[in-house]
Structures are given as structure tokens and as C-alpha cells.
Amino acid sequence: MRARRPPSVPPQIDGYEYRRVIGSGGFADVFLYQEHRPRRLVAIKVLLPQWSDDATKHAFSAEADLMASVSGHPSIVTIFDSDVTVDGRLYLAMEYCPRPNLSSRYKQERLSLAEALRIGVQISGAVETAHRLGIVHRDIKPANILVTAYGHPALTDFGISATIEQSESGADGMSVPWSPPENLAAVPRSGVTSDVWSLAATVYTLLAGRSPFEVPGGTNTQSALVDRITHDPLPPIGRGDVPGSLERVLAVAMAKHPGMRYPTVLELGRALQQVQTELSLATTAIDIIEDPATAGSEVVALPARPDDVDGGTRMRLATDRVHPAYGVTHSSEPARPAALARLVDGVSTSQDVGSDSASTSYGSLHGVPYVPTATTSSPTTSTDAPATGSGARSIGYGVPAGAAAHPEVITDRPRGRRRGATALAVVAVVLGGLGGALLLDALIGGGVPDADVPTPAGLEGAASGSVAVFTWSNPDAQDGDFYAYRPVDASGDGGESTPFRQTSALTASISTSGRDGAPCIEVTVVRDGRTSEVPARECLG
């Protein structure tokens, strides 16, 4: 193990008096200084002398600009000043957060479920605000969430952030335990749903006391973590007070394929709010910027649901508006940035999805193509009532309706064949309609029923807003197993044209909108090109 380097010499900075070292990083040290006027303690991040090349200076200055553009948010560390020290080093003066950061806390104590949910909702507002300004954080993790003197979480370290357009070119420098699969690929990609994954992984960590794919007492090298993040299903948190609804929310947010996750961090925050409501906890407001086009924009607090009339403070929602970077907004929520419309959250497609048209096909099972719908330029709006309350027009309650409609093309395969299977899956995504059906059929070998392949056990469903969430178990799980599922009617007939969708998780969701009767699902195990001889079927209710 490489020895930790000593901190650099604290520089002389006009208007500030040095107090002590706070911490050290790869490119900079953070010191505590006393500002002369106004008199207050500030944290000052100083670039190391050896990192004085133009590229590093530019990146450091970019971080200052990025943080300044979002630092008015109550859950983002405030920036006070940025300049050059007497000895020529760049520095960034920011809010001093004296309490232990979340990395220190989860390693030393067990955070309550209520606090973990509150932090997740508050940080979702911070990340959503950054996204609306065109900024992807790319390194959300417990160590980058500080805690103010008043106990409020505050996101920091935008050092490897990028604009949404720049994020198409890659994602370097991220922290492996909280990084999504697409960031760990040979050609890394990063986007809005990469931050969705990392925030969910952070909430998971606060509850589990370990990163999501860390094995207590096992091998937890970076290569081992990369392999598990890329191929293994998300393990349960392992706490008796964590409800199944929260496990499902985190599983959706941390789906292997970006298109299967919540399309925005706001929707993840809404889902966490719904869990708070389910548990009769105080509902945390989501603070978001109202209009990114306006300097000094008002931060608007979004309640748990639009029909919240329980006597609490009524927060005003943003109204519909037009902005050239965001397009026309609907239902009080701005559309996803136009730059993101050219990127399906890190996975390139053969169509420009900046219009209202759907993106390219992700492939099919048995010759039936599937076209995802959650990657168009505006968020999916549902007219169904949320799980609590009635009559409300809602966006993003519970598990996203579009999430399960995206096949998860990164699947669990035996270690000796994973690289080839993943490559084939990537080709299926890129080619889409150009033979995507044949490629995905090739991936499962045509899906021949076989008595040696078990039927999924314990299949059961539960309502979650406008979707039905089903879970099951594999009675004889083997390395490389994954699952195909599709909606069917109560008789078990799905019709030959109904597409199967694939997942490596033991859960799936289907929309309940526009269905006659109870929603039903058919699930089969897929193993080495063979499927369960008898699929499992279950209906809700």
C-alpha cells in the first residue's frame, strides 16, 4: 500500500489566516483558514505545486466555476472566493463544514433509516439542480457529502464534473465502489442516469455500512468490485427495518443498463419521498432551481406530491415555460436538457432522440423488437394517481413506468464468457433495428424450453403507483443465469407479438395503465440458451 503523502506547506493568502490541515487529495490539499473580513472560518482547497500545468489549472478553475454556478443550493457547499496564492497556486475558498462527512459516519455508526432517506432526498435536489444547469457530477459518494454546522448534507467536489455534452466523451477519475457499469467500461460513458446510480449507491451505503458490491470479509480489490458492479445483481441491504419498497427503488436506480433506471434524479427523489410516506416519516422537500436561465434563480421546494394539503407549508411549483436549452416543459417539471437528448445516458443510439420520436430499438426476443420510451426529450408524465393521495397529476412516483420497459443488456454470464456476451450485448444496442432481434436471440440461443432449467419460485407482485412490481427467486441459481419476462393476461396468454424483456435482477415492473383486469407477468430463467420448461406466472391482487 502506498504511504499517504504529507500535506503541502500552507500558503500565505491575502485576507486569510491559516489554522490547520483538513485533508489531502490527489491534486490538492484542503486547509482551514480564518477569513479576516467578514470574520469566519473557511475551507480553502489549494492546488499542489507539482500540478501546475495548464490542463490541471484549467480543470481546477472549471471546478470553481461549476461549484459557483450551483453553490446557492442549500445542499451544495457554498463557494466564497477563487484566486491565486502568494506563491502562485490556485485556491478555492468555500464553506467550512465542521461535522464528519458521510464516509466517516457510515464507517463509525449505523445511520437511521429516516436519516438516510432524508439525505437521499435532499441530495437529489442538489444533483437535479446541477443537471438542469447542464452539469453532471460523476463522483457522488459518501466522502463527497459534507455536513454543515447545522447538520445539513452538502454535496462538494465537482472536480471531475462535466457539462452534459462533455460527458459523452468519457468519465475519468470516478470512485469505483459508487460508479455505474457504463463508467467502468473500456470506453466509459457518463450521463444523468450515472448520477442516479451513484446517488442510489450512496443511500445504499449509508444503510448497509458498506458499498453496494463490497463483500464483508471477501476480496474487495478494485478489479473485483468492477466485476461485481458490471455483472452481479444488487445484493440486499440486510437490515430488518429497510422495507421491500426501498430495496426495489434502489434496484431500479442501480439497474445495469442506464435506460432501465429512473430517467432523472428528481424521479429518484420522488420515489424516496414515497417510501417516507409509506413509513409515516416526515416528508423531506426537494429543493430545485426554478429557472436555470435566470441568474439568481429562486430555489423552489417540491413537496412529496402536488396534492399535499396536510396543513404544512405550501410550496409553489414552477410553472410551464419555454427555454431554448430545455424545450417546452410540462406538469411543472422541466424537460431533460437538449444535450442529453443526443445521449441515452451514456449509450449511443442510431437516432437523434431530441425530437418526440423514440430512440432506436434495443433488440428483441423471438423476433419482436422493443423500442424504449423513457429517453425522449421530455419526462414521462402519468395521469394515474400516486400510491398515496388521489386525483393528482404526477411525475416519477415510485418505480418509473418506463424503467422496466428497457431490456437490461448487461447480463450475468459465466466468468469465462462474460467479455464476449457483453460485447454482443453492446453490438445489439448499437445496431438496434439493424438485426437487433437476431443478435438478442443469439445471446440466449433462441430460448429453447428445457426441463433442467428451473421455474422461478415465489413470484409475487405489489402495486407501486402506476406500475406493478414483481419479485421472485431462483431455486437453483447458477453463474450466468438471467431472466426474461413479459406482461400477460390472467389466462397466461401474452400473444406472440408481446416482447420479452431481460434482466439480471430478481425483480421487474410492468405498467398498470390501460389494462383490463389485474396486471400479470410471465417470468422464465434463461440459462445457456435454454429457458424454463414451465414459466412462472402471477397476477397482482
Q: What is the pLDDT of residues 376-431, one digit of tens each?
A: 233 333 333 333 332 322 223 233 433 433 333 333 333 343 433 333 333 333 33
Q: Residue 107 and residue 85: Cα distance in Å, rounded?
A: 35
CA dihedral 36, 37, 39, 44 (to 10 degrees): -60
- Dihedral sign of CA atoms 202, 208, 211, 212 in order: negative
Predicted confidence at residue 3, as pLDDT, reads: 53
Predicted confidence at residue 96, as pLDDT, reads: 95
Predicted confidence at residue 13, as pLDDT, reads: 94
Low-confidence ranges of the chain (pLDDT < 50): 1-2, 160-173, 294-299, 305-446
Same fold, 102-346 and 415-539: no
CA-based angle 427:433:434, to the nearest 5?
A: 65
Print the SS3 string covering 250-319: HHHHCCCCHHHCCCCHHHHHHHHHHHHHHCCCCCCCEEEECCCCCCCCCEEEECCCCCCCCCCCCCCCCC
User: Measured in Å, how far apart are the chain's first and last C-alpha atoms?
Assistant: 55
| Entry pTM | 0.58
Residue 184 has which C-alpha cell?
A: 467502468
Q: What is the pLDDT of residues 317-375, one digit of tens each?
A: 222 222 222 222 222 333 333 333 322 233 322 222 222 222 222 222 233 322 223 33
Considering only the C-alpha atoms of the chain, give the largest distance between any 2 of them, rounded to a whole number of Å.
78
Predicted confidence at residue 428, as pLDDT, reads: 34
Residue 477 has which C-alpha cell?
A: 441459481
Amino acid at position 17, single letter: E
Predicted confidence at residue 4, as pLDDT, reads: 66
240: CB partners within 8 A, 6+ apart:
none
Q: What are the b/e assignments for 321-332, b being 16+ CB within 10 Å?
A: eebeebbebebb
Predicted confidence at residue 20, as pLDDT, reads: 96
Q: Residue 172 and residue 201: Cα distance in Å, rounded?
A: 19
Give Cα 47 distance to the centre of its chain. 30
Q: Residue 30 and residue 34: Cα distance in Å, rounded?
A: 13
The CATH superfamily of 16-95 is Phosphorylase Kinase; domain 1 (3.30.200.20)
CATH class of the domain comprising 102-346? mainly alpha
Residue 424 has which C-alpha cell?
A: 454482443
User: Are 409 and 363 contacting, i.e. CB atoms less than 8 angstroms apart?
Assistant: yes
The domain segmentation of the chain, as residue ranges, is 16-95, 102-346, 415-539
Print the SS3 string covering 41-73: EEEEEEECCCCCCHHHHHHHHHHHHHHHHHCCC
| CB-facing half-sphere around the CA of 524: CA atoms within 13 A | 25
Would you call 473 helix, strand, or coil by DSSP? strand
Q: Per the annotation, does 45 bind a ligand?
A: yes
Residue 108 has which C-alpha cell?
A: 463509525
CATH class of the domain comprising 415-539? mainly beta
